[in-house]
Amino acid sequence: MTASRNVGVGEVPDLVSVSIVSHGHAELAARLFDDLRVHKPKGIEVILTLNIDEALPFDPDSFPFPVRTIRNATPRGFAANHNAAFELSRGNFFCVLNPDIRVPADPFWALVGELRNPAVGAAAPLILDPDGAIEDSARPFPTLSSLVAKALGAEPQRYYEIGEESISPDWVGGMFMLLRREAFAAVGGFDARYYLYYEDVDLCARLRLAGYDIRLVPRVSAVHLARRQSRRDIKYLVWHLRSMIRYILSRRRKPGKDVVR
């Protein structure tokens, strides 16, 4: 059951600005656009960034919501692309959404409901893999010891008990997160020094340092058709390692420490 809200006189209706970045993923993006057409035809705008030259298998003007297409002359990182989309967006909520996400129903109503609390800066749905298993998209902040244990082959674990009620993990994954516009702006958006990986961890750390809560909302879910590039391509592995080292060496990892830019 979806929630609706009456808009008062003089009140601006909610608008969710959805930022999608494609790096040769136009076919996946087309399926995501079809999901949005069915489940969220109103109350959104989409900013689609084509990070490399690629043809679109759909007409951006054929959807019931506005679509703005950006074609990059040269590829940019995850953080820089979404920051640029944010500057063009008009919504009071900003959604970072991977093209390899599928939405089987409207996920936004519950996330927006969480973000109506001004103390909440970001909210995310439960992320499932294609077989319906819960992905580890909400975790405690990584530490040097936890990363070493993972590198040594420690068994993966679920860090939070997932039920029906919303919880407050340290951070949520950037494959699908909804942000209060003022919260994202207050912390300066993503740190563009992270080309790929850990930009979501860093953003959530800075939101928490600024006093905002992070929420995982299991009442709604999305499916992640993940492709683990860092396990197959040395270039992605290098980006992963660089971002991990940058985060571990930063001083913005725990509330109470100074934020560095």
> Can you give the pTM of this predicted structure?
0.86
pLDDT at 10: 46
How does pLDDT run along the chain (261 residues), one tens digit per residue? 334 444 444 445 799 999 999 999 999 999 999 999 999 999 999 999 999 999 999 999 999 999 999 999 999 999 999 999 999 999 999 999 999 999 999 999 999 999 999 999 999 999 999 999 999 899 888 876 656 556 555 555 657 889 999 999 999 999 999 999 999 999 999 999 998 888 999 999 999 999 999 999 999 999 999 765 445 677 777 767 787 778 878 765 554 333 333
- Fold entry, domain 16-249: Spore Coat Polysaccharide Biosynthesis Protein SpsA; Chain A (3.90.550)
What pLDDT score does 237 carry? 78
Between strands 16-22 and 44-50, the pairing is parallel
Ordered by start, the domain boundaries in the chain are: 16-249
Which are the contacts of 94, defined by CB distance < 8 A and separation ≥ 6?
A: 16, 17, 19, 86, 178, 179, 180, 181, 184
User: First CA to last CA across the chain, in angstroms?
Assistant: 42
Tokens standing for residue 125? 């749905």
Q: Which residue has the tokens 């995850």?
A: 78
Specify which residues 216 forms β-bridges with. Answer: 124, 167
